[in-house]
Amino acid sequence: MYDIGKVLEREYAQVFVRYKNTKKGSSTTEMFVRTDGVERKLMEEAFEVTLASTKNEGTKRQVSELADLMYAAVAYMVQNKITLEELAQEMAKRQK
């Protein structure tokens, strides 16, 4: 079984490195250098999650699209200097 916290920490670290060390031709780099690129990707992936659900494309497809959405959300966090700790604190407050 995977630990979602550890997976997100590794993903955040990887995206942070890609944000600081851009590579030409990388889709992550293109997302960061385009004006509103991360925000657009976040909206695109949210839409694709919704489509996968409404078209009954199955759990495997929905999970794949959710993973893309999470990657875009992590990229948004990195770009806006929002830490996983800040997100965890906010989510924990809502669980009370």
Task: Count, in order, helices (H) and strands (E) of the chain.
Answer: 5, 0
Domain ranges of the chain: 4-94
Opening angle at CA 31, ends 27 and 35, nearest 5: 150
Total residue length of the chain? 96
First CA to last CA across the chain, in angstroms? 26
Res. 10: pLDDT tops 80: yes
Q: Decide: helix, strand or coil at residue 70.
A: helix
Tens-digit pLDDT profile for residues 69-79: 999 999 999 99
pLDDT > 70 in the chain, percent: 100
Res. 25: pLDDT tops 90: no
pLDDT reported for residue 57: 83
Write down the pTM of the prediction. Answer: 0.91
Tens-digit pLDDT profile for residues 49-67: 999 988 888 899 999 999 9
Residue 29, both tokens: 């780099």
| CATH architecture classification, 4-94 | Orthogonal Bundle (1.10)
